[in-house]
A and B are shown apart, each in its own frame.
Chain A
Amino acid sequence: MSSEDFPTSPSPKYIPFSEEHESIVSCGAPVDLNLKSLFKDSTIVIASVPFAFSPTCTEEHIPDYIKHIDQFKSEGVDKIIVLSASDPFAMSAWGKALGVKDPANYIIFAHDVDLGIAKALGSDYIADLSKGGLGVRSQRYAGIIENGEIKYLESENELNFTEISSAETLLKRL
């Protein structure tokens, strides 16, 4: 996909990190993430994962991004948004568990409400795991959004984590 707008509706929900709720067993309140205003005149990296706290997402995919935060910043990325079907409480706790405790919320851990964003992107972005009792989730995918337009967007196959969604690939495409 290229020269297309990234979907902005429904608004994902997230819990902004605050020092008041720094502890992982202390929970804040979810708010809407207004993608339209976030995208305006900005470069945003989107990383979607099937599950918070699942092995690949927790041990490989998102840590890879966290490790490269400084490079993303120096390449002009304004924010990184991590999306998943997991609810905003789980996403917030997962962010804290991964060691992301940043009052500036440079990385936002958000819930894709009803998988609305993934569905708007198309069936390649959905992973139906109902047979295994794990429900319908989003695929692992990664994108670069410039001023609302899709500059790079690729989905993994079979929920794997490969160069398709790695931090290095994104950094090269920026």
Chain B
Amino acid sequence: MAFQEGSQLPTEGLEFSYIPIDLSDLSLINPLKCDTTSKLKLSNLLEKLSNSDSPNLVAVSVPGAFTPTCTENHIPPYLENLGKLIDKKVGAILVLATNDPFVVNAWGKLLIKEFVKINDDNKKLPEIIFASDGGFSEKYGLAGDRGGIIRNKRYAAIIDSRTGDVTYLGVETERGVDKSGVDAVLSKL
């Protein structure tokens, strides 16, 4: 099976190492409090979403945590536009980076603290999951050699949890953020 637009997401055996981030009180998120890692089984996440009223999963992949483009331009607009993503029935945002789960988790917590605004309208926030890619993207041709290290390409995908279909896959072919940015994703939701 391939990971491509219009096909089902290949979820068999697909799991990611991550450390859950509790969004119920943003002020309690501490990037220097390190926990042990858990496994995220993607089929379980999709099943949970398919039974909710926010069935869309947005997956965003970046070459590296704490790198300039990813940290300054790519992920922050997603976190600043959670309200719009909620309105488009996004139940979870999965950020995948090449790094190990400790680094991805610390990066995620810092970005959430910096860019997620206090939720005034009391809308239920989507799950925000920062996970270590662990070879998934490479398996589907969505990673490449960057200076001796295999790093994820920058891309974003929308998965409809009710069908399991990849309804959008935008892969960047040049530097910068265009097809994988939050505006492109919102226009496809």
Q: Which residues of A contact B (CB under 8 A)?
A: 24-27, 51-55, 58-59, 86-87, 89-90, 92-94, 97-98, 113-114, 133-135
Find the A residue at minimum CB distance from B64: A89
Q: Please state if A27 and B66 are interface contacts (CB–CB under 8 Å).
A: yes
| Dominant secondary structure of chain A at its interface with chain B | loop
Contact with A along B106-140 (1 / 0, CB 8 A): 11001100100000000000000000101000000
Q: Please state if B17 and A134 are interface contacts (CB–CB under 8 Å).
A: yes
Given A27-B71, A59-B34, 13 other A-B residues pairs in contact with their CB atoms under 8 A: A25-B111, A27-B72, A51-B102, A51-B103, A53-B103, A58-B34, A59-B32, A86-B103, A89-B67, A90-B65, A92-B66, A133-B132, A134-B37
Give A54 Cβ to nearest chain B Cβ, in Å: 4
Please list the 8 inter-chain residue pairs (A to B) with the smallest Cβ-Cβ separation, ordered nearest first: A53-B106, A89-B66, A55-B34, A93-B66, A53-B102, A27-B68, A90-B103, A54-B102
CA distance A87 to B148 in the complex (A): 12
Q: Which residues of B contact A98 (CB under 8 A)?
A: 32
Give B8 Cβ to nearest chain A Cβ, in Å: 25
Q: Which residues of B contact A25 (CB under 8 A)?
A: 71-72, 110-111, 114
Q: Which residues of B contact A26 (CB under 8 A)?
A: 71-72
B24 interface residue per 8 A CB criterion: no
The A-contacting residues of B in range 59-76, CB under 8 angstroms, are 64-68, 71-72
